[in-house]
Amino acid sequence: MFIKKNVEKWESYQHEQAVSPDETADRFITLIDDLSYAKTFYPKSKVTRWINGLTASMYQNVYRNKRQKFSRLFEFWKFELPLLFRKYHPVFLFTVLLFCFFVFIGLYAAARNPEFIRSILGDNYVNHTEENIANGDPFGIYKDDNYFNMFVRIAFNNIKVAFITFLGGLSLGIFTFKILWDNGLMLGSFEYLFFEHGLGLQSILVIWIHGVIEISSIVIAGTAGFILARGFLFPGTYSRLESFRRAASDAAKIMICLVPFFIIAAFLESYVTHLMSTTFDASHSAGLPVWASIIILATSLFLIVWYFIIWPRKLHSKGYYIKKNGIVNRLLDGE
């Protein structure tokens, strides 16, 4: 009775593919129950061996698909994303030069007119910072008793700014340009404020612990915004809609990769920068040694340069490329 009742079901499982992962899971659970029953009442039956084979086959299929998902994720980070970014290296170079130019304008304007710093950073921030400098605690603004809340707040804010910068590409890049302009002037004015008080080197050792990754990620978000704008303004051989669709897909992938970088930057700012800041305050509290700051700075800079510049170029030089279906392939000799 048990066999007659279920044989058609088992045959359908053997010859028909499940239409969804949920159906696959339901089939697997059903087969486990049937196999348990069959082993109890028909331990030596060929039907029991048949059900066991179906169950094993389904298990291997599920496990193989799971491994493929992890493999696909690994391939995305190791190959697809760097190769994709290499395609837009000219846009990245343009964005870097543009941002550096804005930072230079901020430095120059701050040097020429002391009031410029206040107009950019705000009176409250400048007064607070100068008060901290006078009290021998120039980087006190980075000290917070609740490190986790600081971490969450900083990470959320930076990710929000990055996505706004990216979406600024929808305005033909004008809004992206504006955000880079504002941040460039702000950074230039900010650094000049510390150099003016003889704290330039200390500011680099403290602030750029997190600033290397954070500022680099903002610039890359600007690159994604300009990719959006370029896809619409310069469609090339594609229709304008198709060109924009492709650019939007590529830019979105670049933005996704920035999220973990912003999380790392927020962690460094919340849990590490404040330790380094105590090295230079008046109380001579135990903070990070200078050599530790240098190691973090060098490691952060190497991470950005290697992943977004060196590694993509190496992959390209070795013949790796992205096929139309998004799968990475390698061009072999004679291919």
CA distance 56 to 32: 10
Asked if pLDDT for residue 23 goes beyond 60, the answer is: yes
**Assigned token pair, 197:** 């008080």
Q: What is the pLDDT of residues 49-74, one digit of tens each?
A: 777 777 777 666 655 555 555 667 77
Residues 28 and 55: beta-carbon distance below 8 Å: yes
Burial 214-245 (b: 16+ CB within 10 A, else e): bbbbbbbbbbbbbbbbbbbeebeeeeeeebbe
Q: Give me the mean pLDDT over the 35-46 stretch.
A: 72
pLDDT: which is higher, 25 or 113: 113
pLDDT: which is higher, 306 or 293: 306
Q: What is the pLDDT of residues 223-281, one digit of tens each?
A: 999 999 999 999 988 899 999 999 999 999 999 889 999 999 999 888 887 777 666 66
Q: Is 175 exposed, middle or buried (0-12, 13-18, 19+ CB in 10 A)?
A: middle
Spacing of C-alpha 184 from chain mean position:
21
Q: Tokens 């305005």 label which residue?
A: 171
